Structures are given as C-alpha cells and as structure tokens.
Amino acid sequence: MDFELSDDLVALREMARRFAAEEIAPHARAWDRDGEIPMEAIRKLGELGFMGTLAPTELGGAELGYLGNAIVVEEIARQCGGTALMLAAHNGLCQGHILLSGSDEQKRKYIPKLASGEMIGSWCLTEPSCGSDAAALKTRAVLDGDEWVINGSKMFITNGHRAGVFVVTARTSDESKTKGISAFIVDRETKGLSTGIKEDKMGMRASDTVPVNFEDVRIPKESLCGELNMGFIDTLKVLERGRITIGALSVGLGRGALEEALSYGKQREQFGKPLTEHQTIQMMLADMAMEVEAARLMVHKAGILQDQGQATEIESAMCKLFASEIATKACLNGIQICGGYGYTKDIPIERLMRDAKLCEIGEGSSQVQRMIISRRLLDL
C-alpha cells in the first residue's frame, strides 16, 4: 500500500489546481449567477485534456484513469461545483458509457470530438416519473426496418442544453425490468429531439440541467450502444464508476469549505483574538479536515481499484455517500464559522454548500447508496 501520488499525478494536481485558481475561481460567482459556463472556458478545459480524462490517447483523450480523473475533478470542484458536474456528466457518464459498450466505429466517431471539448456530451437515464427506480423507465425504442424509433421524456439532464450527443436509455423489451433496456447514441440535430428550458436550481447552477424529449426520433439501427436489452446492466457499471467522480467532486467542495473557513477564521477577530484561536472553532476545523481526508482516501481507493480493473460497486457507493454527506456538513460548519459574512455571497462558501447538496441526490441518492451497501452486507 502506497499513499504517495506518483510524480505524474502530483504534476497533474498542480496543473489542475493552478488552472482552477486562475481560470475558474475569478468567474465562478458569475457562472453560478448566470447559469452558464462560457464556451471559451470549455475550450481551455479541452486543451488541458480535462474534457477527455478517461478516454484513451489513441482517441484523443488524456487517459488519466479514475484516480487521475478524481484528482482533476477535486481541483475543479474546489472552485466551481457546476464546472466539475459538467465534467462528471461529460467524461464519466456520456463518454464513460460509449467507452464501456460502444462499438469501435462509435468510439472513433464520437470520442475524439468529445475528448477535445469540440462537442459536449449528455447521458439520459432519469425520467419525470422515475429517478431512484431508474429501471422503471418508460421511454421506448422500437425497431422499424433499419431504424430505431424513440419516444419518451428524460428529466434533469446535465449538459443537455448544449450537448451535441446524448446517450439515451430506452425500453426495448417487456420481458424483464432490468434486462429489457438498451442504450442508444442520439445526435442533437436528429429530428424529434428537443430540450426544454433550464431548471432554476438551488446549486450547481453553472452546469445546465434540462428535460430532453424524444418524439418519433428515428436513428439508424447501428446507433444501439452495447448489447440489445443489456443497457441497464451497462448503466449500473457506468454509475459505479461515475460515483467515484461525484465522491471526488464532494471532496473538492468539502475542502473548499475548510479552506474558506480557515482563511476567514484567521483574520476575523472576536473577543480580542482571531476566531481560529477559540477552541470551539478549532474543534470544528479539525473535524472538517479529518472528514475531508477520510473521504479523499475512500475516493482514491475506489479510483485505484477501478484502474486495476476491479469492480467497485461497494467502494463507489461508500465513497460517494460519505464524501457527499461530509461535504454538506463541512459547508454548513464553514458557514457557521464565517458567521453573517458566510451567509452572504461575499464569501463563496454558501455556493459550495448549495453545490454540495446535489451530491447527496445525483447519480443515486444517499438512500440508494445505503440500499446498495446494506444489500451486500445482508447478502440480499
């Protein structure tokens, strides 16, 4: 067991940290207010390889692996949760699904454009009537000659407003709930595909979230991504990996809360001395630091195991669950330490808190993670 990052990963972390501090932090408040990450910023993320963290180099990706991806996402989230969520959906979900089960032709067609940031990707699983019980989805794909015809609606789709391509799950058989779903790759300009207005969210506002509708959307037979009726099984694998990214995102937000509280607490004096010299505040900071460190270790462990080709259903659920809950807690305690100023937008900690709450809901809520862990514990 080696807790030291390799020289390459340390260099990657420093590059991501510098980029986030210089190119994201100064704008994060405006992006949160306006609900948009400028395309120029996405272009720069592409130049650094951050739009293709998981894609292989031969397809134009940076091939950083799950540990490298987690390191990048933590640094970006430290400054802007919404930008990190955009990356999580683009890299982990959309590209993750194509890389997992797409054909060589599909990978060659889509991955280079996605990995460079020329095109943004979305992943459509959730529907208006089903989220946690995702396999109950109603969107349907029917084969008509050489074409699939898709009808249905998806909800809460990250990046949907600007995505050039969507990976979409749809029911293709009624024989089995989980083994009757398939995944498809749908280009944005396909007739019948439309996106609704952006959700007016509490947090993660820089990242867009929209409904996506499919009305007699006709796509070539070859747009099937993976094996027929096995799309939900692949979806679980994509989520298993994606949850490591949400764990890393949470670590970045929790660390942000700690750093902001430390910085404020050192310069704010009450009762004749800095807040950080009051023992009660010191205890709060100590707990925040301990929990962020523990969460990071869990995330890195899951990332390393994925990079070794191992399954991480439990490690992913645990790191996502723990990291997201301690992030929200760290943000709330950070606001407490910053007092009235922490409750204003003058200090970014209130934004971090709004962003952190999403990590307890998206890619499987905390309740769903506990169900996954307890099912394994109880051998159910």
Ligand X SMILES: Cc1cc2nc3c(=O)[nH]c(=O)nc-3n(C[C@H](O)[C@H](O)[C@H](O)COP(=O)(O)OP(=O)(O)OC[C@H]3O[C@@H](n4cnc5c(N)ncnc54)[C@H](O)[C@@H]3O)c2cc1C
Active centre residues (catalytic): 363
CA dist 16 → 22, 83, 320 (Å): 10, 13, 21
Q: Decide if residue 126 touches ligand X (CB under 6 A).
A: yes
Give the residue from 235, 226, 237 showing the smallest Cα distance to 311: 237
Element (H, E) at 96: helix 96-101
Site mask for ligand X (CB under 6 A), range 76-115, x = bound: -------------x--------------------------
What's the CA gap between 335 and 308, in Å, rounded?
39
Q: Decide if residue 263 touches ligand X (CB under 6 A).
A: no
Site mask for ligand X (CB under 6 A), range 202-241, x = bound: --x----x--------------------------------
Q: Decide if residue 363 touches ligand X (CB under 6 A).
A: yes
Smallest distance from ligand X to CB 135, Å: 12
Q: Decide if residue 132 touches ligand X (CB under 6 A).
A: yes
- Considering only 17, 201, 237, 329, the residue that binds ligand X (CB under 6 A) is 201
Q: Tell me the residue nearest to ligand X as measured from the CB.
A: 131
In the numeric block, the tokens 């190119």 are attached to: 23
Q: Decide if residue 156 touches ligand X (CB under 6 A).
A: yes
- Return the number of the residue (158 or 276) whose C-beta is nearest ligand X: 158
Q: Decide if residue 333 touches ligand X (CB under 6 A).
A: no
- Return the number of the residue (207 or 276) whose C-beta is nearest ligand X: 207
Q: Decide if residue 190 touches ligand X (CB under 6 A).
A: no
Q: Decide if residue 131 touches ligand X (CB under 6 A).
A: yes
Q: What is the DSSP letter of 58?
A: G
- Return the number of the residue (13 or 201) whose C-beta is nearest ligand X: 201
DSSP 232-284: HHHHHHHHHHHHHHHHHHHHHHHHHHHHHHHHHHHH-EETTEEGGGSHHHHHH
Q: Decide if residue 361 touches ligand X (CB under 6 A).
A: yes
Q: Decide if residue 162 touches ligand X (CB under 6 A).
A: no
Q: Decide if residue 306 touches ligand X (CB under 6 A).
A: no
Tokens of 232: 């939900």
Smallest distance from ligand X to CB 124, Å: 5
Smallest distance from ligand X to CB 171, Å: 15
Tokens of 58: 């031969």
What's the CA gap between 119 and 161, in Å, rounded?
12
Smallest distance from ligand X to CB 126, Å: 3
Give the residue from 203, 162, 169, 211 showing the smallest Cα distance to 51: 162
- Return the number of the residue (135 or 314) whose C-beta is nearest ligand X: 135
Q: What is the DSSP letter of 137?
A: -
Question: For 240, how many CA atoms within 13 A lie in the half-sphere containing its CB?
Answer: 20
DSSP 1-22: ---SPPHHHHHHHHHHHHHIII
Which span (34-42, 74-82, 126-134, 309-317) binds ligand X, by CB under 6 A? 126-134
Q: Decide if residue 173 touches ligand X (CB under 6 A).
A: no
What's the CA gap between 258 and 252, in Å, rounded?
10
Count interface residues toward ligand X (CB under 6 A).
21
> What string of H, E and C letters represents the secondary structure of 190-227?
CCCEEECCCCCCCCCCCCCEEEEEEEEEEEEHHHEECC
Q: Decide if residue 374 touches ligand X (CB under 6 A).
A: no
Smallest distance from ligand X to CB 347, Å: 23
Q: Which residues bind ligand X (CB under 6 A)?
A: 89, 123-126, 131-132, 156-158, 201, 204, 209, 358, 361-365, 367-368
